[in-house]
Amino acid sequence: MGLLSNRVEKTEIKAGDHIYSWRAAYTYSHHGVYVGGSKVVHFTRKKDTSDSINSSSSSSLSSGVPSVCPTFPDCGFHQSNSGVILSCLDCFLGNGSLYCFEYGVPPSVFLAKVRGGTCTTAESDPPETVINRAMYLLQNGFGNYDVFENNCEDFALYCKTGLLSLEELGIGRSGQASSFFGVPLAALFSTPFKLLAAGPVGMATVTAGMYCAGRYITDIGVRKDVVKVAVEDLAANLGWRRCLKERAPGKDCDASVGVASIEEEKRQRL
């Protein structure tokens, strides 16, 4: 992997890696967790799992891949009413190339990456913890898919870090979502600085700076509204976002916590 590209070969990835592949001429990328044995656990819309892990309809998975995997009988396994899927690496990639998401990158490297959804300043947990989260969620689900708040990259980021956002509404943890919001917001907020920008080049420079700053402050490794959540608690509580919103940073969410202790934690945060 390098500064300009995170592309890797299949022989280079290890169990517990966060991998992704670009779709639709690099318009967006689909993310998953490599669990070893040429298998990937990933997250997509529930309706996309009704017939196969790939469909011809618009989805976060590529089309043109056989509905029945000729290599692995369990490829496409998922629980009913769940968008978390186990697939083989070849079916996950489709016709795309393989990329490996980077963790623990310095701010300078993060800002140098033009596209969001390729790296984070957050540190990854050990591979065995990552794989345990992914396999647990394969059996228990990861809630409802939302392209901005709870998507495939959010799933992989959670498996790798155990971090979830306290905010009930707004963008999730994914860099792709931040980029989608960041481009128009950068242009919007850079408008007051147009008098400081000497012509189109200056305006473009200001806009680019605002875009990079927006990406950085929404990175999961920088944000202050995230907490560590045990996977057992996440899967056991359908109202996990509401629970998280009431919890203090740095502590696991537990639905059994009383109102008094929650209020005490909120006071400590002030």
Give the residue numbers marked as catalytic.
30, 42, 152
Question: Nearest CA to 87 among 133, 37, 129?
Answer: 37
First to last CA, the chain: 42
Task: List C-alpha distances in Å: 140 to 53, 134, 191, 215, 224.
Answer: 18, 10, 46, 31, 28
The C-alpha atoms of residue 68 and residue 74 are separated, in whole angstroms, by: 10
Instruction: For residue 164, give the H/E element and its range.
Output: strand 163-165
**Helix, strand and coil in the chain, % to nearest 5:** 40, 15, 45
Q: What are the tokens at 105?
A: 């990158």
The C-alpha atoms of residue 196 and residue 177 are separated, in whole angstroms, by: 29
Q: How many helices (H) and strands (E) does the chain have?
A: 9, 7
What crossing angle do the helices spanning 175-190 and 199-217 adopt, rounded to 10°?
Answer: 140
For the chain, how many residues are written? 270
The C-alpha atoms of residue 265 and residue 268 are separated, in whole angstroms, by: 5
Instruction: Tell me which DSSP letter residue 80 carries.
Output: T
Residue 141 CA, distance from chain mean position: 15
Residue 41 CA, distance from chain mean position: 13
Instruction: Tell me which DSSP letter residue 15 carries.
Output: T
